[in-house]
A = this chain, B = another copy of it.
Amino acid sequence: MTNITKLKNTVKKIFLKKGLNLNHSKKCADAIINAELVGAHSHGLSRLKMYCNRIDRKLINPKPKIKIKKISNSISFIDADNSIGFVAADIAIKKAIQNSKKTGIGLVAVKKSGHYGLSGFYAEKAVKKNLISLIFTNAPPAVAPHGALKSLFGTNPICFGSPTGSKIPFILDSSITMINRGKIRVAARKKQKIPEGVALDKFGNPTTNAIKALEGVQLPIAGFRGSGLAWMVDILSGVLTGANNAGKVKDPFDDFSGPQNVGHLFITLKSNLFVKNFMKEIKNNIKIIKKLPKIKGVKEILYPGENKFYRYKRNVKKNILLDQKTKNDIKNLLDH
């Protein structure tokens, strides 16, 4: 037997101790352990202490009074009352699914939320109901707008999910930076180098030092285009929703001046809105693309989400390996 169930229970126990109710604690544990299982360690247990820290400092509300305002049968607006992001996002995607089941399209905006882990985790919930989804969230400053010398945009991921007619969903969950900030954070902790061309230090010089990169600026994909996409995500998830934006989302690790007030936007669509047999169509689309001639060394053309799915399948049979720091974090959180 693996340590997965045990770890999930441990995480649940920690959040219960911090004052979250059983349902909310379970949601947090599910999302965090899922991140570990898909190999996104930067969005998993390495953040546990941070979340608890913010609860202790009353920056995450363990007992939020989440308000869901109905704008129309399709549209809802959630004030998450500074809940932990996992809880707000779980309620939001469920509401979006509900709305789109009723009307074909669901739109749910969230303000006063926090870091919710992986967008793809929520896109998968929509895919399971045969829905297409677009998910946007903003994040603390990490990327300089094109032409600027200072970080302002978050890694602001664009997430798209689609059913595929197979058990492996199409999940594109792409931050607009060259690599995830979480990966730089993990590299910094492990004193590893980061690749060239992904970040600048605080003086604007290229660096492969993870710690200097965290002090400096992450580079967006494709210059002006990536910067524009990050700005789009800031408008959709921050400005439109009334959440923090323009660099005001607080870094959860080291800014304790207030709640993060992250914003999210969830759009879900019935996949068979316009065609009779969407599953047949998308299966065919994928089949054609997979049959293309490949670059030397490439065994198979994968669609976004496949790699993650296979990693999950492999990892779910094994123990989750914890580094010493995470072990200490968990021990301390259980003890105190």
Question: Within residues 166 to 225 of chain A, which ones have a CB less than 8 A from any CB in chain B?
Answer: 170, 172, 174, 178, 204, 221-222, 224-225
A273 contacts B75, CB within 8 Å? yes
The segment from A9-17, A83-91, A102-110 that touches chain B is A102-110
List of B residues within 8 angstroms of A285 by Cβ: 234-235, 238-239, 245-246
Question: A312–B239 Cα gap in the complex (Å)?
Answer: 27
Question: A145–B294 Cα gap in the complex (Å)?
Answer: 9
List of B residues within 8 angstroms of A278 by Cβ: 239-240
Q: Is A226 an interface residue (CB 8 A)?
A: yes
List of B residues within 8 angstroms of A144 by Cβ: 292
A302 contacts B109, CB within 8 Å? no
Residues of A in contact (CB 8 Å), total 72
Q: How many copies does the complex hold?
A: 2
List of B residues within 8 angstroms of A224 by Cβ: 304
Task: Tell me how far the C-beta of A248 lies from the nearest C-beta in chain B, rounded to whole angstroms.
Answer: 8
Closest to A132 in B: B240
Q: Is A137 an interface residue (CB 8 A)?
A: no
Question: A245–B152 Cα gap in the complex (Å)?
Answer: 37
Question: A282–B121 Cα gap in the complex (Å)?
Answer: 29
Question: A324–B66 Cα gap in the complex (Å)?
Answer: 65
Q: Closest 8 A-B residue pairs measured CB to CB?
A: A221-B222, A148-B292, A246-B288, A147-B298, A242-B275, A228-B304, A172-B228, A246-B285
A-B CB contact pairs (8 Å), 7 listed: A71-B104, A146-B301, A148-B293, A150-B293, A172-B228, A172-B229, A245-B281
Chain A residues in the interface with B (C-beta under 8 A): 71-72, 74-75, 77, 103-105, 107, 109, 111, 132, 134, 144-150, 152, 158, 160, 162, 170, 172, 174, 178, 204, 221-222, 224-226, 228-229, 231-232, 234-236, 238-242, 245-247, 267, 269, 271, 273-275, 278, 281-282, 284-285, 288-289, 292-295, 298, 300-304
